[in-house]
């Protein structure tokens, strides 16, 4: 049981951020405030998610997003929560979201700040109605000096991110954050309403015997991925001489969170059905923030050919193949791409 003294010894997200700012001078005050607002919005989204069938937000909204995907009511509600929380604080120039075709410039009635925020308000939408973990993913960029907050301002490689993170709404609600100085995880204390630092400086082991991929697409994969996954499935009898285990939650946030905790490799490859729209995941608000987090935890993230963080985006909702997690496995599947193509 928590006693008053054990509670006061805890490091909350607020304390952690202030310490980063004070002791390491690596966190400007406006970025700290922005992160706090995002975390507060995630708390609100988590609350709405937790209501389930008792709330009024389960089910589909009867609309599609820009990618032609059916929107759930909670997708839309989560998007609104993030927009409303962040529009008036004075830290942002513009926002972009999976759920909006165009960017959202900060309205003229509010002061404008120096940052750009992108997010997937509720990742893992297919899991919303069935009570499986879902989450929010976000990425923060600096608005280039003197540039109007246009779509072009967002076309920066992931290596330019100044902060990224995600929340998972699962058995526990957690908030994972990097500002480029390692990765830390905060667990929501529901009684006190605060994010408490529970996992410091998270590290992904370089080796793993666990992988995550939607195997129902296997007949559409290109040869490097076929070869890599076949070898894993051959287990002890195959060239890898070891048995591998498979996990697929269909929520990237939850799969990445497992990998951050115990290693693994996550793959959403390009496939032959959609050569002009490679992969399913979006670069700016899914692949980039996750790649930043994974690299900060000692892992690797590529699109099969190059580091995800080096890709210069050409459009807001562009898709990208994703291989991320334990470094030695990501290096191997990336090597297969260069050997076979």
Q: Which residues participate in the annotated binding site? A: 98, 120, 122-126, 214, 280, 286
63 binds ligand AHM (CB under 6 A): no
Contact 322, 334 (CB under 8 A): no
Contact pick of 251, 296, 326, 334 for ligand AHM (by CB under 6 A):
251
Q: Which residues are annotated as a binding site for Mg(2+)?
A: 98, 120, 122-123, 286
Q: Which stretch binds Mg ion (CB under 5 A): 45-53, 65-73, 113-121, 141-149?
A: 113-121
Contact pick of 77, 117, 120, 278 for ligand AHM (by CB under 6 A):
120
263 binds ligand AHM (CB under 6 A): no
Contact 341, 312 (CB under 8 A): no
125 binds ligand AHM (CB under 6 A): yes
Helix H segments across the chain?
4-8, 13-23, 29-51, 73-87, 223-234, 252-262, 288-296, 327-340
Residues in region 118-137 near Mg ion by CB under 5 A: 120, 123
252 binds ligand AHM (CB under 6 A): yes
* Residues 6+ positions from 196 with CB-CB distance below 8 Å: 10, 11, 12, 13, 186, 187, 188, 189
* Residues 6+ positions from 23 with CB-CB distance below 8 Å: none
Long-range contacts of 49-52 (CB under 8 A, 24+ apart): 49/74, 49/122, 49/128, 49/134, 49/169, 50/169, 52/131
Q: Which is nearer to Mg ion, 123 or 295 (CB)?
A: 123
Residues in region 195-224 near ligand AHM by CB under 6 A: 214
* Residues 6+ positions from 86 with CB-CB distance below 8 Å: 34, 37, 38, 41, 92, 95, 117
Q: Kindly state the smallest distance separating residue 80's Cβ from Mg ion, in Å.
A: 17
2 binds ligand AHM (CB under 6 A): no
- 126 interface partner picked from ligand AHM, Mg ion, none, CB below 5 to 8 A per type: ligand AHM
Query: Which residue has its beta carbon closest to ligand AHM?
Result: 252
Q: Kindly state the smallest distance separating residue 182's Cβ from ligand AHM, in Å.
A: 24
Contact 127, 249 (CB under 8 A): yes
Contact pick of 31, 71, 74, 123 for ligand AHM (by CB under 6 A):
123
């Amino acid at each position: 049981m928590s006693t008053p003294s054990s509670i006061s010894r805890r490091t909350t997200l607020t304390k952690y951020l202030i310490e980063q700012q004070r002791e390491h001078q690596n966190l400007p005050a406006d970025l700290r405030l922005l992160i706090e607002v995002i975390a507060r919005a995630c708390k609100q989204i988590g609350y709405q998610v937790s209501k389930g069938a008792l709330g009024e937000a389960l089910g589909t909204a009867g609309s599609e997003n820009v990618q032609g995907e059916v929107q759930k009511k909670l997708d839309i509600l989560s998007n609104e929560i993030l927009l409303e929380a962040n529009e008036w604080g004075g830290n942002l120039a513009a926002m972009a979201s999976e759920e909006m075709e165009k960017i959202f410039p900060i309205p003229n009635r509010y002061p404008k700040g120096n940052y750009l925020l992108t997010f997937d308000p509720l990742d893992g939408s297919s899991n919303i109605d069935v009570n499986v973990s879902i989450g929010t993913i976000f990425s923060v960029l600096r608005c280039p000096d003197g540039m109007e907050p246009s779509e072009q301002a967002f076309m920066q490689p992931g290596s330019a991110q100044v902060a990224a993170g995600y929340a998972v709404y699962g058995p526990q609600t957690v908030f994972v954050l990097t500002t480029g100085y390692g990765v830390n995880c905060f667990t929501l204390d529901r009684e006190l309403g605060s994010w408490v630092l529970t996992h410091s400086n998270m590290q992904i082991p370089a080796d793993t015997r666990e992988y995550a991929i939607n195997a129902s697409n296997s007949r559409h994969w290109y040869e490097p991925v076929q070869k890599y996954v076949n070898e894993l499935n051959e287990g002890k009898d195959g060239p890898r001489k070891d048995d591998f285990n498979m996990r697929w939650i269909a929520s990237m946030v939850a799969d990445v969170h497992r990998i951050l905790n115990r290693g693994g490799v996550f793959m959403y490859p390009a496939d032959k059905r959609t050569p002009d729209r490679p992969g399913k995941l979006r670069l700016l608000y899914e692949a980039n923030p996750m790649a930043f987090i994974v690299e900060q935890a000692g892992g690797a993230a590529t699109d099969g050919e190059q580091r995800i963080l080096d890709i210069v985006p050409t459009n807001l909702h562009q898709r990208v193949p994703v291989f991320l997690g334990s470094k030695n496995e990501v290096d191997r599947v990336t090597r297969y791409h260069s050997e076979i193509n």
